[in-house]
């Protein structure tokens, strides 16, 4: 077949898979190359990034899991590996203690690590083992995808676009350009954050029993807005959710975990705090449940995300069983994701979809950002939204410009995106503990003798967030805005059960999406 005989197919902008080197080393990341990787059905997969030595097997350790594990063990042996389960002992213990093993088995997954059986074997490749398993007819097994934040991506002039750099003095604002903010906005190595002043009234809760909004992100830093109405995890209990960062690696404390040598803020430091502020602006009554799953480089392991969501599922089961309305979760907001290697063929093995569908069945609305790749290629979990058809809805959200009528150039788009909300140049909360190594380019100390009437003067210190607020852009901030609107619509009324929660959620989401659509239409000439 020559080039004139190629079959017609839709042209799509396939984004570059960009994973920071820190995450590549931390997780042992591998990249699935469609030009060399082959599926068992003979077709090339789509590009994605995954943890090289881990697979996710559906179910908790028990009879069904053991059968699947033994079959996987044989498949791994075919290509020179052994397999070892890596159970979440905290979640398993909590499930046993509360009689939830059977329910969690229906949505949960167990991570399995691949171990080379020979000393000089090459590094494990989960894709190779997965294809061997599928050739044997083993189902319920999938990759552990590498998930990236939707606060930056691969769009034009954004993340990996024109002007992107990582060196001091280039694309990072230090010593580059002559205007304030040059090299520090959208498309720079600093992620587009900039300190600003908040002059509006502080969102104040009118009730202590408002809706619970769970935020799976980098965590939650110090800020006066979050002195109350907040639940932070991990909290040391058996039911604790999220990642426990090693000392010095919490991206919401000082914000410097990736480059301690130069003391620069992590690209995604403050991301979770910023998102929490967006939720509060849209729903002052919201109770924030902060679950850290993402590191300062903006990367999360799907294993950690699935475990955290399974923990939320367990929490929701207990709330429904015990009639504990205060414990119930109403909305989950996700500003991270990945591109799937086999979009549309994920139902049997996809860990993330399985637990999200489980949360939906318990009345939890899930809102997911669609990503910043300036593409129409599906970004997951947002692209799962159309597949969640029972229980509470799932919503996929892209970004509008401040004019609220044009889609942001970096925002993903396509028929799988359900709504767009203004998310470029958003003002929200930042940890007041942030003041990294940058300094004002102009700083003149007061001189009481020479110029007694002139106080200390200076330009903006671009990484000093002690004032507590910043401006940022990305679909990351559209998702919590919609989540807050949904939470406000749900209010603090107690539901009698998961069916009522789901029914109320469907009505509220329909109204919120219709309002968003009308707002765009009214501003479009």
Total residue count of the chain as it appears in this document:
525
The reported pLDDT for the residue numbered 63 is: 61
Q: Tokens 């119930």: give the residue.
A: 328
Task: Supply the pLDDT for residue 348.
Answer: 64
Rounded CA separation 256/250 (Å) = 9
The pLDDT of 220-242, averaged and rounded, is: 89
For 430, the 3-state DSSP assignment is: coil
pLDDT-derived band at 493, boundaries 50, 70, 90: low
Long-range CB contacts for residues 34-38, cutoff 8 Å, separation at least 24: 37/127, 38/131
pLDDT exceeds 60 at position 173: no
Return left, alpha or beta for 175; rule: phi > 0 is left, psi -120 to 50 is alpha, else beta: left
Domain 194-440+466-523: give its CATH code.
3.40.50.200
Closest to 396 in 3D by CA, of 376, 139, 404: 376
For residue 404, name the pLDDT band (cuts at 50, 70, 90).
very high
Confidence of residue 6 (pLDDT cuts 50, 70, 90): very low
Mean pLDDT confidence for 390-398: 95
pLDDT beyond 90 at 476: yes
**What's the rounded mean pLDDT across residues 366-377?**
94
Query: Considering the chain, what is the average pLDDT of its residues?
Result: 86
Residue labelled with tokens 């020979």? 118
Nearest to 349 by CA among 136, 15, 58: 58
| Closest to 318 (Cα-Cα) out of 95, 88, 60 | 95
- Mean of the pLDDT values across residues 204-230? 95
Mean pLDDT of 269-283: 97
pLDDT of 262 strictly over 60? yes
Specify the pLDDT at position 38: 79
At 191, the pLDDT band (50, 70, 90 cuts) reads low
Q: How far apart are CA 8 and CA 374, in angstroms?
A: 23
Spatial contact of 397 and 421, defined as CB atoms under 8 Å apart: yes
The domain locations on the chain are: 16-146, 194-440+466-523
pTM score = 0.90
Task: Give the model's pLDDT for residue 452.
Answer: 85
pLDDT for res 28? 95
Return d(Cα 191, Cα 376) in angstroms, integer: 22
**Of 9-13, 61-65, 358-362, 429-433, which gets the smallest average pLDDT?**
9-13
Which tokens in the block code for residue 277? 């502020």
Does 61 have pLDDT greater than 60? Answer: yes
Among residues 174, 228, 236, the alpha carbon closest in space to that of 440 is found at 174
pLDDT at 10: 56
pLDDT given for residue 370 in this prediction = 96
């Amino acid at each position: 077949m020559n080039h004139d005989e190629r079959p017609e197919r839709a042209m799509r902008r396939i984004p570059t898979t960009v994973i920071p080197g820190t995450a590549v080393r931390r997780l042992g990341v591998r990249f699935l190359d469609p030009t060399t990787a082959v599926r068992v059905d003979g077709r090339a997969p789509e590009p994605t990034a995954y943890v090289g030595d881990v697979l996710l097997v559906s179910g908790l350790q028990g009879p069904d899991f053991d059968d699947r594990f033994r079959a996987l063990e044989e498949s791994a042996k075919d290509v020179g590996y052994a397999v070892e389960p890596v159970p979440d002992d905290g979640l398993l213990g909590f499930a046993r203690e509360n009689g939830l093993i059977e329910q969690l088995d229906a949505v949960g997954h167990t991570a399995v690590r691949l171990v080379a059986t020979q000393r000089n074997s090459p590094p494990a490749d989960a894709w190779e083992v997965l294809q061997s398993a599928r050739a044997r007819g083993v189902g319920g097994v999938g990759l552990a995808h590498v998930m990236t934040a939707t606060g930056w991506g691969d769009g034009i002039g954004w993340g990996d676009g024109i002007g992107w750099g990582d060196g001091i003095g280039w694309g990072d604002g230090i010593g580059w350009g002559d205007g304030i903010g040059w090299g520090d906005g959208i498309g720079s190595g600093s992620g587009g954050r900039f300190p600003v002043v908040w002059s509006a009234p502080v969102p104040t809760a009118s009730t202590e029993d408002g809706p619970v909004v769970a935020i799976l992100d980098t965590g939650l830093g110090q800020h006066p807005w979050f002195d109350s109405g907040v639940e932070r995890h991990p909290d040391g209990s058996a039911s604790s959710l999220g990642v426990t960062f090693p000392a010095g690696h919490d991206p919401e404390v000082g914000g410097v975990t990736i480059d301690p040598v130069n003391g620069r803020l992590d690209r995604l430091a403050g991301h979770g705090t910023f998102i929490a502020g967006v939720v509060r602006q849209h729903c002052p009554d919201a109770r924030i449940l902060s679950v850290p799953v993402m590191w300062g480089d903006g990367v999360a392991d799907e294993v950690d995300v699935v475990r955290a969501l399974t923990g939320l599922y367990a929490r929701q089961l207990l709330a429904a069983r015990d009639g504990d309305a205060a414990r119930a979760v109403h909305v989950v907001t996700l500003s991270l994701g990945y591109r799937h290697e086999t979009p549309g063929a994920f139902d049997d093995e996809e860990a993330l979809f399985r637990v999200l569908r489980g949360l939906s069945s318990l009345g939890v609305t899930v809102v997911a950002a669609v990503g910043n790749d300036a593409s129409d290629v599906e970004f997951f979990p947002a692209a799962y939204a159309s597949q969640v058809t029972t229980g509470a809805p799932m919503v996929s959200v892209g970004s509008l410009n401040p004019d609220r009528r044009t889609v942001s150039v970096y925002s993903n788009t396509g028929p799988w995106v359900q709504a767009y909300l203004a998310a470029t140049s958003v003002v929200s909360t930042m940890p007041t503990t942030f003041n990294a190594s940058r300094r004002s380019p102009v700083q003149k100390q007061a001189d009481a003798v020479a110029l007694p009437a002139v106080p200390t003067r200076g330009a903006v210190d671009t990484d000093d967030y002690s004032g507590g607020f910043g401006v940022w852009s990305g679909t990351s901030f559209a998702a919590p805005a919609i989540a807050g609107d949904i939470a406000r619509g749900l209010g603090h009324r107690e539901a009698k059960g998961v069916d009522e929660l789901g029914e109320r959620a469907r009505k509220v989401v329909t109204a919120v999406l219709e309002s968003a659509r009308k707002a765009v239409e009214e501003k479009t000439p």
